[in-house]
Amino acid sequence: MSNRQTKASGPMWAVAAATALLVGCAHQPPPKQFTADAPFSRNFSGTGDSVCWSVKRALLSQGYMLDRPNDSGVMTGSRDQQPTPKLNVTTRLQTTCADNKNGTSSVFVTATREENKLQKMSQTTSMGVGPATLTLPSGSAKVLGTVRRETITDPNFYGQFFSLVQNFVDQEKLSQASAPAVAHPAEPLPSASPPAARNDVQPNN
């Protein structure tokens, strides 16, 4: 093989390898978007009313402010934090409770994290001079703008929330077990009717 053929075959092999790599990547299956082991739901032992009340107590105990949705089984809470003077972080949780009608209830929760940062934005002023319009800088102002928003997917985050809900579910069970039974008043016994008067007339001798 001549040197000219060797030099020509080098780029051809490189193109073939790149083409094979692209074809292999094109046939790779996309990552799973729906899995059975997602961390956004958990089942609890108890009725829907008891478990939903435990979810509400869990949110309130951590400083979340609750909205007032029309659906009683859906609750949305938010909490603000300011880790730095120019950064505000808002965490929102939306929970849904469903009674499974078999002594258990399911809780679904999704959390989002939003970061807002204080930023400096320039301001302009438009001035009209005859048929022309001039735009001139007039200073700057600080505004709070969203720099990041994402759905929280950390299993540890949801695990801590569900553990707190389980704690309140256990408290509800203990409270119901220790509640005194309501005594029903005894029904009054039927009063004995007085003996009937005897109207027998004794014959005279």
The answer to the question of residue 117 being in a domain is yes
Evaluate whether residue 85 is within a structural domain: yes
Q: Are 116 and 152 in contact (CB under 8 A)?
A: no
Query: In whole angstroms, what is the distance from residue 5 CA to residue 12 CA?
Result: 11
Structure confidence by residue, pLDDT tens digits, 152-191:
999 999 999 999 999 999 999 998 888 776 555 556 656 6
Q: Is residue 115 part of a domain?
A: yes
Q: Residue 83 maps to which CATH number?
A: 3.30.310
Asked if residue 124 is part of any domain, the answer here is yes
In a domain? residue 90: yes
Condensed to tens digits (0 to 9), the pLDDT of residues 12-38 reads: 655 555 555 555 555 677 777 888 889
The span from the CA of 169 to the CA of 52, in Å, is 9
Q: Report yes or no: 90 and 114 within 8 Å, Cβ to Cβ.
A: yes
Residue-wise pLDDT for 54-63, tens only, equals 999 999 999 9
81-116, pLDDT tens digit by residue? 999 988 999 999 999 999 999 999 999 999 999 999
Helix pair angle (48-61, 155-178), 10° resolution: 120
**Bridge-based pairing state of the strands 87-99 and 104-129:** antiparallel
Rounded to a whole number of angstroms, the CA Rg of the chain reads 38
149 is in which domain, residue-wise? 37-174
Does a structural domain hold residue 112?
Answer: yes
Residue 60 counted as domain residue: yes
